[in-house]
Structure 1
Amino acid sequence: MRQILIPTDFSENAKNAISYASELFKYERSVFHFLHTYEDTVYENSELTRETLQEIEKSIQADVEAKLNETLAMVKKLSPNPRHEYHITAVNNSLVDEADRQVETHNIDLIVMGTRGETNDPTVVFGSHTLQVLKYVPCPVLVVPENYVYTQPKHILFPTNLLIPYKRRELKLLCEIAAPYRADIDLLYVSKSDKLSLRQEDNLAFLKEVVCRNEIDLITESHHDITSAIKEYIAKHDSDMLVMVNTRQSFFETMLMQSAVAKMTLQVHIPFLVMQNLNRY
């Protein structure tokens, strides 16, 4: 049974991410864990003192639990599914620390989040909370853009240099997302040469072995800039999901590091699955 963690700040973007996940996994037995962390809310309270801390925590906890129950009622009404099970968690903790704990405790397979939360700043690609989870929580993350209308994933774009030793568990997740919809997976290899090294050939063979239930095509393109190559490919081929791997020194890691001081150039308008090649507990 798939274990899915969905952090929510009760924004419209978060609700849309929940709706997308419910549809995407409608054929699978899944457990959804809706999570809200409120450490920031506690410490930003203007009336907070050591004497009022417990009372403020209790008040916020009650408010958050009520909102989580409203979220639960919304999901059951919009997408009733006997294959799905739901749990809610409200906790005074930071999102990254609690997401990390939930991943370990429940053996979470996937985290689903919106691109941005309550602030919904149009000048940034990922909100700060989403960015922190992408960078620091060793679990695949599916990021859903705001206002994205659910579309069955039929054309999945997977840019890769084929140098990463992929993890079987995460490739299996990609396979199980794509297989019910018979989605084609396009491996986009941006290089001036279409000749693969022995290491690349072995990684490609392993990927095809694990993701064997789907049609996989290797597309080699010569381009001066991988970000531009991804954008152009998505626009030209109507890709409806983007997959990348986050590992130390990867292109995705480079983008995340840059985004702390500047805006990311890769504007994501389709669901974005980030597979983690980081150590897992």
Structure 2
Amino acid sequence: MRNILIPTDFSENAMNAVSYALELFKYEKCNFYLMHAYQDAIYQETIDVTRDNLHDVTTQVAQRSAEQLELILKEINDISPNPQHTYITVSSNNILIDESDKIVDEKNIDLIVMGTKGKSNDKKITFGSQTLQVLKYVKCPVLAIPENQTYSQPKHVLFPTNYLIPYKRRELKLFCDMIAPYRSVVDVVYISKSSKLSIRQEDNQRFMKEALCKNEVNFKTIDSKDVVTAIEAYVANHPIDMLVMVNTRESFLESFLYPSRVDQLSLKLNVPFFAMQNIKRDA
């Protein structure tokens, strides 16, 4: 049974992520946790919030949150009834990061699915602030869905790597199982000025070959020092349906997600983005 957390702010982007997840996992038995953390909304509700009326405002926001989650459930049952899927709604007076961490730990969540942006939908950025926080701080793989993304089966997946990190078996298995029903082809691309691998890199590459055995995997090398440009060019020149990266020390994704690089990020995602966190979890 797959456990999937879908945070929502009730935006079109968030609902689009829900729709994508339902299609992607339509062949699997899944528990979907539809979660809205509304603490920030309480203080954004009105400039007139005081200690005297805080309880009343909180009650109103909580009620609205629960009602909107029920509307999402109704929409899901209308557009994608699936006897293999179970839905649990979570409405919480908490902030997104803390509530996500709590549910991930308590429910042994396999994957978080959310939009790359929420209600703000700023066209100048790749990730909205909430999605960026989840990618950086929540210890769970994340599948981020771009706005207006129309579902298509992940037939061709790009997995750039520097082979410097020992991948976690659980996370590679999740990735493999997620795309296996679609007979996906995975392009594992090593981006470097040197094609020679160290012993450490060779060992990590060998582990990837074993872990991704359910899929057709092409191991390639691109001669480049500019990782972002190389990935953008590859996505532009190949029919890529999903981009996969790993967020950990010494990885490509780490340099994209930290503040020194976020404002300069030129990678404009127009395909679903799967970020493995490479952290220790129960097997």
TM bucket, shorter chain: over 0.9
| Residue 228 in structure 1 maps to residue 242 in structure 2 | no
Q: 2: distance between equivalents of 1:260 and 1:105? A: 33
> Does structure 1 retain, via aligned residues, the 8 Å contact 2:42–2:58?
yes
Q: CA deviation at 1:54?
A: 1.6
Which residue in the other structure is 2:174 paired with?
A: 173
> Does structure 2 retain, via aligned residues, the 8 Å contact 1:191–1:220?
yes
Gaps of 5+ in 1: none
Alignment of 1:172-191 (within 5 A): 172-191=173-192
> Does structure 1 retain, via aligned residues, the 8 Å contact 2:161–2:252?
no
Which residue in the other structure is 1:109 paired with?
A: 110
Deviations 1:95-154 (A, max 9, x none): 000000010010000000101111111011100000000000010000000001000000
Q: 1: distance between equivalents of 2:109 and 2:229? A: 33
Q: 1: distance between equivalents of 2:261 and 2:135? A: 13
Which residue in the other structure is 1:162 paired with?
A: 163
> Does structure 2 retain, via aligned residues, the 8 Å contact 1:245–1:276?
yes
Bigger CA drift: 103-112 or 207-216? 207-216
Alignment of 1:204-243 (within 5 A): 204-243=205-244
Which residue in the other structure is 2:3 paired with?
A: 3
Q: 1: distance between equivalents of 2:68 and 2:99? A: 18
Q: CA deviation at 1:171?
A: 0.2
Deviations 1:239-259 (A, max 9, x none): 110000000242211111146
Which residue in the other structure is 1:38 paired with?
A: 38
Q: CA deviation at 1:47?
A: 2.9
> Does structure 2 retain, via aligned residues, the 8 Å contact 1:125–1:263?
no
Q: 1: distance between equivalents of 2:264 and 2:95? A: 24
> Does structure 1 retain, via aligned residues, the 8 Å contact 2:9–2:118?
yes
TM-score (norm 1): 0.97
> Does structure 2 retain, via aligned residues, the 8 Å contact 1:123–1:263?
no
Alignment of 1:55-94 (within 5 A): 55-94=56-95
**Cα root mean square deviation, aligned:** 1.3
Which residue in the other structure is 1:267 paired with?
A: 268
Q: 2: distance between equivalents of 1:67 and 1:203? A: 45
Q: 2: distance between equivalents of 1:263 and 1:75? A: 37
> Does structure 1 retain, via aligned residues, the 8 Å contact 2:10–2:68?
yes
Q: 2: distance between equivalents of 1:59 and 1:263? A: 40
Which residue in the other structure is 1:197 paired with?
A: 198
| Residue 252 in structure 1 maps to residue 253 in structure 2 | yes
Deviations 1:195-228 (A, max 9, x none): 2221111111111212210011111010231111
Q: How many residues align?
A: 281
Q: CA deviation at 1:278?
A: 3.2
Q: 2: distance between equivalents of 1:107 and 1:240? A: 27
TM-score (norm 2): 0.96
Bigger CA drift: 205-214 or 45-54? 45-54
> Does structure 2 retain, via aligned residues, the 8 Å contact 1:246–1:278?
no
Structure 1 residues 260 and 37, CA, compared in 2 at 3 Å: closer, same or farther? Answer: farther
Bigger CA drift: 209-218 or 134-143? 209-218
> Does structure 2 retain, via aligned residues, the 8 Å contact 1:152–1:181?
yes
Deviations 1:57-92 (A, max 9, x none): 111111110000000111111011111000101111
Match of 2:49, SS state, is coil
Letter in structure 1 aligned against 2:127: F
Q: 2: distance between equivalents of 1:43 and 1:15? A: 24
> Does structure 2 retain, via aligned residues, the 8 Å contact 1:156–1:184?
yes
> Does structure 1 retain, via aligned residues, the 8 Å contact 2:141–2:275?
yes
Letter in structure 2 aligned against 1:51: D
Q: 1: distance between equivalents of 2:260 and 2:77? A: 37
Q: CA deviation at 1:279?
A: 4.4
Letter in structure 2 aligned against 1:23: E
Q: CA deviation at 1:261?
A: 5.8
Q: CA deviation at 1:191?
A: 1.7
Match of 1:125, SS state, is coil
